[in-house]
Amino acid sequence: MLKVIELNGSPYEMGTQHGEQLKEQVRGLARERYEIACQFACDRGVEITREDCLKLARVHLQLHQEQTPRCYEEWSGIAAGADCPLEDVFFANALTDFQDVLWQVAGTEIHGCTSFAVTPAGSSSTTALIGQTWDMHASAQEYISLFHRRPLDGPESLTMSTAGCLTLVGINAAGIAVGNNNLQPMDARPGLIYLALLHGALQQTDWDQSRQAITGAYRASGHNYMMAHESGACVDIETTAQQHAEYFVEDPWYVHTNHYLSENLKGLENPQLDRRSTEHRLEQVRHSLAATPELLSPEHLRGALADHEGGALGICRHGEGREARSCAFVVADPAARSLWASLGPPCEGKLTEFSL
């Protein structure tokens, strides 16, 4: 069952409360992700050690301290509260971005979230919705919580993430929602990681500034960002480290998986990417939503993403240990300031509404 972690105060104070409440989980996820990174590299003929990971974390941390000090302060508080090194906390947050450097060579799809946007014209609530599966190594599921932040400066927010980490998907009191799925560009570099960008977007009260927190950032790598506003506006932002493309959704619904759809960015995608699953999932969700005669509700969307067609290539994944698994399913309604969320694969989870 999802639990809600209450956080109040300055970024450092909220981080400290986070670390104190989830101390063992913060430490456990960091250990797990060091091991995953080292094994990932070893499997591809690259030898790295924990110290190599720490060095990489320090390079990125300096950039975050300079460019996103609120995120840096929150990580520092988490480290203090959990009584563990700051580099450990940061590395747990940054695993996906760090692996992108290896993905440029490996060309494999490790974890693949499936995301969507629904405009008011397609929504049973007549409000914009965004959402996704969150696919990751299966062992990450036990570390998932919801975080209710009441900062001294900035909007209140409700987010889903893992212990020690910043925003994966969430909403804020200004009526802004964010989510994401991974992409594999060829221009990864030391820069700002995607969790910091999502976190920064929810620190804004202005819709244009929230999108600028993604598009204007000095990014470490590429991700796809799905965003919605209480006005009904939905936008999909594909990014590489250095370029981006915004697509403003006008149709009743829109789906994205783990390959570039923008003609301007396709040439920057890893040419060795195994596209079988991402292309299969995109077509499956499109087909399922097109066949739905009703306006879409969170439960309709859960059903569409509970699809097992294609086996290992499918949308709803059931891996164990360090295999790929759909660890959670989330729908965000920014106008209602609500998250509909469930743990585990969509076919198993029961959606529960959590609101600000």
Chain segment 281-304, per-residue pLDDT in tens: 999 999 999 998 899 999 999 999
Length of the chain in terms of residues written: 356
- Per-residue confidence (pLDDT) for residue 329, from 0 to 100: 98
- Per-residue confidence (pLDDT) for residue 103, from 0 to 100: 47
Kindly report, residue by residue over 184-238, the tens digit of the pLDDT: 999 998 899 999 999 999 999 999 999 999 999 999 999 999 999 999 999 999 9
145-152: average pLDDT: 98
pLDDT bin (cut points 50, 70, 90) of residue 340 is very high
- Per-residue confidence (pLDDT) for residue 34, from 0 to 100: 84
294-320: average pLDDT: 95
Which residues fall within 8 angstroms of residue 163, CB to CB, at 6 or more apart?
A: 22, 25, 26, 28, 29, 143, 145
Residue type, 284: Q
Of 120, 121, 228, 119, nearest to 179 by C-alpha is 228
Which residues fall within 8 angstroms of residue 290, CB to CB, at 6 or more apart?
A: none
- Per-residue confidence (pLDDT) for residue 110, from 0 to 100: 53
pLDDT of 58 strictly over 70: yes
- Per-residue confidence (pLDDT) for residue 306, from 0 to 100: 96
Identify the residue whose tokens are 């986070």: 18
pLDDT of 332 strictly over 50: yes
- Per-residue confidence (pLDDT) for residue 205, from 0 to 100: 98
pLDDT bin (cut points 50, 70, 90) of residue 68 is very high
26-37: average pLDDT: 91
- Per-residue confidence (pLDDT) for residue 43, from 0 to 100: 75
- Per-residue confidence (pLDDT) for residue 101, from 0 to 100: 56
Listing DSSP states for 105-122 in one string gives HH--------EEEE-GGG
- Per-residue confidence (pLDDT) for residue 106, from 0 to 100: 47
Report d(CA 146, CA 155) in Å as an integer. 16
Kindly report, residue by residue over 93-114, the tens digit of the pLDDT: 998 887 765 444 444 555 689 9
**Strands 234-239 and 223-229, sheet pairing:** antiparallel
pLDDT bin (cut points 50, 70, 90) of residue 257 is very high
- Per-residue confidence (pLDDT) for residue 51, from 0 to 100: 83
Identify the residue whose tokens are 């250095």: 242
Kindly report, residue by residue over 262-281, the tens digit of the pLDDT: 999 999 998 888 899 999 99
Report d(CA 226, CA 130) in Å as an integer. 7
pLDDT bin (cut points 50, 70, 90) of residue 327 is very high
- Per-residue confidence (pLDDT) for residue 108, from 0 to 100: 53
Which residues fall within 8 angstroms of residue 189, CB to CB, at 6 or more apart?
A: 220, 221, 241, 242
pLDDT bin (cut points 50, 70, 90) of residue 42 is confident
- Per-residue confidence (pLDDT) for residue 109, from 0 to 100: 53
